Chain A
Amino acid sequence: MARENLEFGDGVLLQHCALQTEDDLVLARAAIKLHSTDLGFSKLNQTKIVTAASELGRNVLEHGLGGHLKIDAIDQFGRKGLRLIFEDNGPGILDMELALTDGYTSKKGLGLGLTGSKRLMDEFSIESQPGEGTTVMVIKWT
């Protein structure tokens, strides 16, 4: 299954985080905060990145039955960025258009996690195979 997004090339792996429990998500947020500070992001952008990660990470827990997160630093022709790849082997998304609609939720959320993190980040891509899982990749350029 080729769900790995290679659109932006290989990055330098900064950290791998398991996402199985709410505590893992707390740790992942702290790690992202640290790495985004290191890369020199402004307070505002740090907050945007951590918030988007919180949304996507919670989706992995709530909808994807747990998974993991890869944090890496990428460099595209001199343009530097922080890339987050969320991956799970959950039920996947049957109707992608619906999932990417503001306010749509299959549970009791606000239905703004996917669309909201798309707005908070610079790049956003999502791939999903029903029955196999979901991968979400986001990037913030410095």
Chain B
Amino acid sequence: MANDTMTSVATLMRDSQKEILADWVDQQLKDPARTQAVPESSLRASSNEFLSIFQEAIQKGNLDNMAAPEWEGARKMLSELSASRALQGSTPSETASFIFSLKEPLFALINKQLGAGNIASSEAIVRYSKVLDQLGLYTFESFQKSREAVIRRQQKDMLEMSTPVIKLWEGVVAVPLIGTLDSARTQIVMENLLQAIVDTNSKVAILDITGVPTVDTQTAQHLIKTVSATRLMGADCIVSGIRPQIAQTIVHLGIDIQDITTKALMSDAIREAMERTGWSVIRNTSQES
């Protein structure tokens, strides 16, 4: 008898899809948690698509396990929906209530068809309530996962943005480093720098560490690694922006940076780089003060 109820609900949904859709979309538009992130037209389209997928899935009879293959289509649609809503700036509860708001119209339909308050309709409502709870939770989790993916990508973007490689002159590129030079940062700096050296056919690279607060042995190792990689590309590397207290601390630590050309100021590094690439800077005497 439970099976009869299930298939009858599936049939019922198919026959009254238009009616449910109208009710459901109304519910969603009324939702106080609704932001303006998703326009009504796309809400209606997603709702209609989900209703078709949903009634197809329940027709197959598995109402217990939403991880089963019968529900793959529904899961796929819900995770795509969550991903796009996470990007559009919807809230997690707004996204989850896409599913939860289907309860009312669906239960109203069940009551209408099977009669309110009898065993068959109560049983159907309990079962469908569980199904929608599971799908709602799944939507919520997918949304969360998409948000995390967005955040990770933004973090990566920020890492890349915070270590821009600047072409200073023909044959000279520079990277102003700001913040903590950890392993992840070093990797990105190195990749960007090496690519820029190739792209601009540069012969000298300047690494400026004015904005790096602490140079410990790990930071030094990362700098040394970057300088060596630059050399392997056939370019020279100058490290500039070494404040006096940092220079002293490096000496006390016992780090050997004899091999590396260092300059106190970026302007010294630029002068050196120009010389090495065969340029010279001459001040126009008439401009002299």
Contacts and interface: CB of A to CB of B under 8 A. Distances in A.
Given A26-B180, A54-B214, A58-B218, A119 B252 contact: yes
B253 interface: yes
B248 A112 contact: no
A55 B254 CA distance: 13
Q: Is the interface of A mostly helix, strand, loop or mixed?
A: helix
Q: Which of B213, B248, B249, B253 has the most CB of A within 10 A?
A: B253
Given A58-B218, A109-B221, A113-B217, A51 B248 contact: no
A2 interface: no
Interface string B193-219: 000000000000000000001111110
Interface stretch (A4-12, A42-50, A80-88, A125-133): A42-50
A33 B245 CA distance: 14
Contacts of A22: 182
A109 B214 contact: no
B186 to A, nearest CB: 13
Contacts, number: 60
With a 10 A CB-CB cut-off, give which of B215, B217, B220 has the most chain A CB atoms. B217
B63 interface: no
Contacts of B254: 102, 112, 115-116, 119
B182 to A, nearest CB: 6
A120 interface: yes
B229 to A, nearest CB: 16
How many chain B residues sit at the interface, stated as a range, is 10 to 19
Interface residues of A, number: 23
Contacts of B182: 22
B188 interface: no
Contact of B252 (A43, A110, A120): A120
B78 to A, nearest CB: 34
A93 B248 CA distance: 29
B220 A110 contact: yes
Contacts of A51: 214-216, 249, 253
Contacts of B216: 51, 54-55, 58, 113
A58 to B, nearest CB: 6
Contacts of A116: 217, 252-255
B125 interface: no
A29 interface: yes
Contacts of A44: 244-245, 248
Interface in A34-80: 43-44, 46-48, 50-51, 54-55, 58
B10 to A, nearest CB: 51
B180 to A, nearest CB: 6
A44 B247 CA distance: 10
A74 B229 CA distance: 46
Contacts of A115: 254
Contact of B217 (A26, A48, A110): A110
Nearest to B182: A22
A44 B254 CA distance: 16
A112 B253 contact: yes
A116 B255 CA distance: 9
Contacts of B220: 110
A102 B256 CA distance: 12
Given A29-B214, A47-B248, A115-B254, 16 more contacts: A26-B180, A33-B213, A44-B248, A46-B245, A47-B214, A47-B246, A51-B216, A54-B216, A55-B217, A109-B221, A110-B217, A112-B254, A113-B216, A116-B253, A116-B254, A119-B253
Interface of A: 22, 26, 29, 33, 43-44, 46-48, 50-51, 54-55, 58, 102, 109-110, 112-113, 115-116, 119-120
Interface of B: 180, 182, 213-218, 220-221, 244-246, 248-249, 252-255
20 contacts: A29-B213, A33-B213, A43-B245, A44-B248, A47-B214, A47-B245, A47-B246, A48-B245, A50-B214, A54-B216, A55-B216, A109-B218, A110-B220, A112-B217, A112-B255, A115-B254, A116-B253, A116-B255, A119-B252, A120-B249
